[in-house]
Amino acid sequence: MRILLGKGKSETYRLKFQKAKRSLKNILQKCTHLPALEPLLHDAPPNILKHVVGQFAKVLPHDSKARRVFVTTGGLKKVQEIKADPASALHEHITTINSCYPEEIVRYYSPGYSEQLLERVEQYQPVI
């Protein structure tokens, strides 16, 4: 990971970078133990994040227990906070993850939802 985050300019560094990137991508694609990937949701740079989110998108549709854990550990909330270009693979992965949950759950964990609820409370007129 250190190599992937570094800024070396030499040919040797470039070769190490390519090898590290390829290795990490292969490891991520084989990892099905999602709790091991969860810290990367918070720390990984964007070029690695797309592979991490992609792995969640591969596993979550087929594992109901993992979907529950993903919500309770804050993974779904973190995914909702990711800004992704609509034409990107990352956006596709986020859409796949969101489709694993009821719409109200996704909305609840989306940024700004609590403010929307408070605004509705302020505008609500009780029937007495």
Residues 56-74: pLDDT tens digits? 999 999 999 999 999 999 9
Provide the pLDDT confidence category of residue 45 given band limits of 50, 70 and 90.
Answer: confident
pLDDT in tens, 74-123: 999 999 999 999 999 999 999 999 999 999 999 999 998 988 888 989 99
Average pLDDT on 2-31 reads 79
DSSP 79: H
Please report whether residue 22 resides in a domain: no
pLDDT in tens, 17-26: 888 888 988 9
Please report whether residue 38 resides in a domain: no
Coil, strand or helix: which one is 85?
A: coil
Q: Is the pLDDT of residue 4 over 60?
A: no
Please report whether residue 65 resides in a domain: yes
* pLDDT value of position 11: 81
CB atoms within 10 A of CB 9: 6
Please report whether residue 98 resides in a domain: yes
* pLDDT value of position 78: 97
Q: What is the pTM of this model?
A: 0.81
Tokens of 83: 């800004």
Cβ distance 76 to 105 under 8 Å?
yes
Rounded to whole angstroms, the Cα distance separating 30 from 32 reads: 6
Please report whether residue 81 resides in a domain: yes
Range of the domain at 84: 44-108
Rounded to whole angstroms, the Cα distance separating 50 from 88 reads: 9
Q: Is the pLDDT of residue 2 over 70?
A: no
Between the alpha carbon of residue 44 and those of residues 27, 73, 77, 104, 106, the distances in Å are: 14, 17, 16, 28, 22
Please report whether residue 78 resides in a domain: yes
Burial 79-108 (b: 16+ CB within 10 A, else e): bbeeebeeeeebbbbbebbbebbeeeebeb
Number of independent structural domains in the chain: 1
